Structure 1
Amino acid sequence: MIYLDEAATTPLRREVLEAMWPYFGPDFGNPSSHHEVGESASRALSQARADVAQAVGARPSEITFTSGGTESDNAAIKGIALAAPRGRHVIVSAIEHPAVLESAEFLSRLGFEVTELGVDSAGTVRPGDLTAALRDDTTLVSIQYANNEVGTIQQIETLSRIAAQRGAPFHTDAVQAAGWLDLDVARLGVQSMSISGHKLGAPKGVGLLYLARGTRIEPLIHGGGQESGRRSGTENVAAAVGMAAALRLVGGSIDEVVGRRDAFIDRVLAEVPGAILTGERHHRLPGSASFVFPGINGETILLELEAHGVVCSSGSACAAGSDEPSHVLTAMGLDADVAQTAVRFTFGRSTTTEDLDNAASRLVDAVGVVSGRGARPS
């Protein structure tokens, strides 16, 4: 099997599992308990928080462990908007993950006004559009660092600086960027950032929310006041340790990944009639290549590829099974029918040139079979 769906999830790294294992067994304590078993768990949690904070250039007190990217996005958008709003106006981009868009829609039902920024044909938010949309009562701006469907990377430093000039807090969903792009929150200029562990080789069900010191937030989960009152509930120590381990393991040159990605894109565009690359050609995630194939159903291509050992997707895993065209692709100006022909290939540092060459060959064959132009491969 050639697995090319790492934007959906990555395999759990062995080193991460080994780091977590003691907290499923001998170090099983509740970190809020005031005895040695609990204190041992508390020390592990504190160390994990410190390691995560170092990875993003933050203070440990600015890190909240969550159940994943969706919860982190919800906590940031709802929590910041509801805590001490400058007003009741929120700005998001039109191509955000549903966790952001649905959180913003929830706020609209509470009386907030939501502005969705459009994007250009490559999925890029135009800085001038953000400047024009900002108001004195804008209480939050949320723009993702990199898109989960087409891989386009946003100009977060520029966009956050524009928001800061008007005094509006800036949140970024960095779920797809983590592991590939610089996460230093000071350089990015963000007051809030979301990351999910299972995109990094950590387990599903753990994430983090960076919240800059002094940024007020109304918690979504009330109870015993864990996580400095920002997220009540007994902490998942093993998962937090795994998240920290995964972030420590991130590293190494991405130049080879970029080279393999570009060669794969070039071959698909050259050998598959009518194939169109979606997203920025170069300013995109290193392990992301996404296409549309006008006139050919994307789901049929996926089935044909999987039958021959290539696992990929049509877009966001959160939208799997939906009959609706991708909101990302339609926001980029693609016709709804064309948007439904999308196929996304996402891969990691361990994906080889041979893997991508084989995937490209099988894609050429699959499109030929589905379109009726070729014979089914044996």
Structure 2
Amino acid sequence: MEKLVNLDYAASTPMRPEAVAAQRAYDESAYAGANPNSLHTLGRAAQTRLEEARRAIASTFGSRTRPSEVVFCGGGTEANALALFGMAEGMRRQHPQRTRVIVSAIEHDSILDNLPRLRDWGFQTELVKPCRAGYVEPAALEAALGDDVALVSVMLANNETGVFQPVRELAASAHRVGAAFHADAVQGWLHTPFDVACLGVDALSVAGHKIGGPVGIGALYLKGRTPFSPQLRGGGQEAGRRPGTQDLRAIVGLEGAALACHARLEKDARRVRELADGLYARLTVSDKIKASMGDPAAVDRLPGIVSITVDGFESEELILKLDAAGFEVSAASACSSGSLDASHVLTAMGVPREQALGSLRISFDDRADPADLDRFADALLQIVC
């Protein structure tokens, strides 16, 4: 079979050797399979390894992050749900008048699809739209804020366009009215440098499979003393915030990938950004191909996401033709694959429906081969022209 070039890393990434090695070491350890909450020798050994991994993950969030502020869970979707429900309810319990939750209109479905449940719980929910360039302007959020707001949730960087949101300014605005602030950083964690203390967030979600770690493992940074109501009962694990025996094998794999990325983050981010800039330049020589956010040089964006629309084509047709040519890409969010409707992100940005239906997301990380990107550009231009 001819080589398939995976350019859909924003959906999921191959395991890094460091993650594989960490899991292999776990499998060969005496405490493999032991419950880290047990009091016997093997349980204590597993607990020691669990806390070692927790300290390592905390260090990637910033030097002032305490290990106790890291809650392990089953991926980014669960981390987002924990933050959304746990923080909204926690805030309302302390401040009964706070019954409103504000999120951006470009959030991942793991946030947006949970808003009806919040409404069932008696919360009012409100969407704030981005500007045409793809980010939420602080003034737009400030216009929606009030003393009745419990929680604001705006992602660090969009999973379809890669555009960064001004999280620091948005969090400061939320805090001025006493609201808590959560950021979905599943797409941005360890693809761009940041410090949660500098961002000023109260919670932040991450996932392993976006950085070369295992699928099905993630974490929620939850700042100390942040109002929070656990969503499940049945055990005291994770300081009572997320019950259930921890998947230590997945956690050490997450640690292995995270430490590998963190050690060379700034260097890799610069290189990947240069590759993305070059790909935008190659593709937009065609008058049929446009960057989804307008001028990509005018916005701050993730290094490894190239988001385009192709006039006169539908995403499905392009994906299948590129797949036949050996290139794997997606249309907007892979979590919405199979949907015939236009991307909710591009629609919220004001991209016309006919144009949004021809969207493509090309994504990669530091492991990308520049020659593969050149061949991809040739293939797409040949299809389009």
Normalised to the residue count of structure 1, the TM-score between the two structures is 0.95
Q: Which residue of 1 aligns with 2:222?
A: 211
Question: CA offset at residue 337 of structure 1?
Answer: 2.3
Counterpart pick for 1:265 among 273, 280, 295: 280
Q: Which residue of 2 aligns with 1:309?
A: 326
Map 1:16-95; keep pairs closer than 5 Å: 16-25=19-28, 26-28=30-32, 29-57=34-62, 58-85=65-92, 86=95, 87-95=98-106
The AA in structure 2 aligned to 1:75 is L
Map 1:266-281; keep pairs closer than 5 Å: 266-270=281-285, 272-279=286-293, 281=296
Question: CA offset at residue 237 of structure 1?
Answer: 0.5
Q: Which residue of 1 aligns with 2:15?
A: 12
Question: CA offset at residue 351 of structure 1?
Answer: 0.8
Aligned partners of 2:44, 2:225: CA distance in 1, in Å?
Answer: 28
Aligned partners of 2:66, 2:53: CA distance in 1, in Å?
Answer: 12
3-state DSSP class of the match of 1:90? strand
3-state DSSP class of the match of 2:244? coil
Aligned partners of 2:25, 2:367: CA distance in 1, in Å?
Answer: 27
Counterpart pick for 1:285 among 288, 296, 302: 302
Q: Which runs of 5+ in 2 are unaligned?
A: none
3-state DSSP class of the match of 2:296? coil
Question: CA offset at residue 221 of structure 1?
Answer: 2.1
Aligned partners of 1:13, 1:353: CA distance in 2, in Å?
Answer: 19
Q: Which residue of 2 aligns with 1:350?
A: 367
The AA in structure 1 aligned to 2:280 is I
The AA in structure 1 aligned to 2:59 is Q
3-state DSSP class of the match of 2:383? helix
Aligned partners of 1:366, 1:352: CA distance in 2, in Å?
Answer: 21
Q: Which residue of 1 aligns with 2:247?
A: 236
3-state DSSP class of the match of 1:172? strand
Aligned partners of 2:104, 2:116: CA distance in 1, in Å?
Answer: 13
Map 1:349-368; keep pairs closer than 5 Å: 349-368=366-385
Q: Is it true that 1:198 corresponds to 2:209 in the alignment?
A: yes
Q: Which residue of 2 aligns with 1:336?
A: 353
Q: Is it true that 1:165 corresponds to 2:165 in the alignment?
A: no
Map 1:95-174; keep pairs closer than 5 Å: 95-174=106-185
Aligned partners of 2:117, 2:194: CA distance in 1, in Å?
Answer: 28
Aligned partners of 1:292, 1:337: CA distance in 2, in Å?
Answer: 10
The AA in structure 1 aligned to 2:369 is T
3-state DSSP class of the match of 2:113? helix
Larger deviation, residues 176-185 vs 310-319: 176-185
* CA shift digits 1:239-293 (9 cap, x unpaired): 11111221111124122221111111011000x3321101361311111111111
Question: CA offset at residue 216 of structure 1?
Answer: 2.2
Aligned partners of 1:120, 1:236: CA distance in 2, in Å?
Answer: 41
3-state DSSP class of the match of 1:345? strand
Q: Which residue of 1 aligns with 2:337?
A: 320
Quote the sequence identity (%).
39
Question: CA offset at residue 201 of structure 1?
Answer: 0.7
Q: Which runs of 5+ in 1 are unaligned?
A: 369-378
Aligned partners of 2:363, 2:155: CA distance in 1, in Å?
Answer: 18
Counterpart pick for 1:179 among 190, 202, 210: 190
Aligned partners of 1:211, 1:55: CA distance in 2, in Å?
Answer: 14
* CA shift digits 1:31-64 (9 cap, x unpaired): 0111111111101100000111111021011110
Aligned partners of 1:181, 1:134: CA distance in 2, in Å?
Answer: 29
Q: Which residue of 2 aligns with 1:375?
A: none
The ranges of structure 1 where at least 4 consecutive aligned residues each deviate by more than 4 angstroms after the TM superposition are none
Q: Which residue of 2 aligns with 1:300?
A: 317
Tell me how large the CA RMSD over aligned residues is: 1.2
Aligned partners of 1:207, 1:183: CA distance in 2, in Å?
Answer: 18
User: How many pairs does the alignment contain?
Assistant: 367
* CA shift digits 1:110-139 (9 cap, x unpaired): 221111001111111010011111110100
3-state DSSP class of the match of 2:331? coil
Larger deviation, residues 61-70 vs 351-360: 351-360
